[in-house]
Amino acid sequence: MLIGADGSNGQTRRLSEPSESAWYTRGFALEACVRYAELPPTLPGYGRARDVVFDFSPLPGGYGWLFPKGDHINIGVGAFAPDADEAQLKRVTRALLVDYARHKLGVAALTHVTGQHLGMGGHAYVPRGRVLLTGDAAGLCDRLTGEGIHSAIVSGQAAAAAVLHPEPTVAAAYAKELRPLQQTLAFSHRAARAFYREPERGFRAMRTPLLRSLIVKTYADGVPQTRMIAAMAKWLV
C-alpha cells in the first residue's frame, strides 16, 4: 500500500490516476513575515498589530490575511474560489503581496516570502486500488478559507485506519473513513462559490457572530460537525 502525502505538486496522484484527475484543481497563495519591531508606530490600515485580519479587497476569488504570531505577523494573499482560472491565480504575485503589506502595515521589506499551490476539489476524490492520497495531494484544502493543515492530519489518520483495517478493501475502508471530511469540504465548495461570486453579500453574512465563529473554528479544528455547517448554508446560498 502507498500513501501519497506529497502535496499539490507531487507525483503520486499523477501516477495513480489513469488520466489527469478531472476533480482536482488548485489555488495559489503567497505569504511572508513582518517582525513587530519593524512596524511603524501607527499602522496605515487603521488596525492593531495583533489583530487577526481577513481582508477580501486585495483580489477577486480570494483574500488577504494578517495572522499575529510570537514575534512577527504572517501576512499573505491567496486565490481559492472554485471558478478561479490560471489567469486569476497569476494575479497572486510578490508585487501584490508587497503592495498589500505597504497598505496594511506600512512596510515593504518582507522576509521568508514563500508561495505554494493548494490542492482542492478533494470532496469528489474517490480512492482506488492500493494508493491512498492525503492532504493537498488529494485536493483536501478548504475552498472557502484555503486552510489545509486540518485536512492533511485527518486524512493521514484516515489512511492509517484504512491500512490497519482494510475491509472489504483498503480503498473502500479509506473512502468510509474520509467521508465526514469530504462532506464538510463539499459544503465549503458550495459556500465558496456563492461567497466569492457575490463578496459583498458574503461579507455581510460573515459579520454575523455565528458565521464568523464558524470561520475561526474552521482554522482551529476543521469544524467536523457537518450538520452544523449545513445549517449555516442559508447565509451563503
pTM for this predicted structure: 0.83
Decide which of 97, 119, 141 is a domain's last residue. Answer: 119
What count of Cα atoms within 13 Å lies in the side-chain half-sphere of residue 235?
23
Are 158 and 54 contained in the same domain?
no
Strands (E) located in the chain: 2-4, 25-35, 53-55, 62-68, 72-79, 111-120, 131-133
Decide which of 91, 119, 147 is a domain's last residue. Answer: 119
- pLDDT for position 118: 95
Are 156 and 228 contained in the same domain?
yes
- pLDDT for position 230: 53
Is residue 16 assigned to a domain?
Answer: no
Amino acid symbol at 33:
C
Q: Which residues contact 198 (CB under 8 A, 6 or more apart)?
A: none
In total, the chain counts a number of residues equal to: 237
- Which of these, 193, 186, 235, 189, lies nearest to 214 by C-alpha position? 235
Expressed as residue numbers, the domain containing 114 is 25-119
Are 80 and 141 contained in the same domain?
no
Are 202 and 221 contained in the same domain?
yes
pLDDT in 10s for each residue of the chain, 237 residues: 999 999 999 899 988 876 667 889 999 999 999 999 999 988 897 778 888 888 888 888 899 999 999 999 999 999 988 887 888 899 999 999 999 999 999 999 999 999 999 999 999 999 999 999 999 999 999 998 898 999 999 999 999 999 999 999 999 999 999 999 998 899 888 888 888 888 777 777 767 777 777 666 665 555 555 445 555 555 544
Residue 65 near residue 76, CB atoms below 8 Å: yes
Residue 116 near residue 29, CB atoms below 8 Å: yes
- pLDDT for position 19: 64
Is residue 93 assigned to a domain?
Answer: yes
Are 199 and 138 contained in the same domain?
yes
Number of folded domains that form the chain: 2
Return the CATH number at 98.
Answer: 3.30.9.10
Is residue 20 assigned to a domain?
Answer: no
- pLDDT for position 32: 97
145 backbone dihedrals φ, ψ, rounded to 5°? -115, -20
What count of Cα atoms within 13 Å lies in the side-chain half-sphere of residue 35?
5
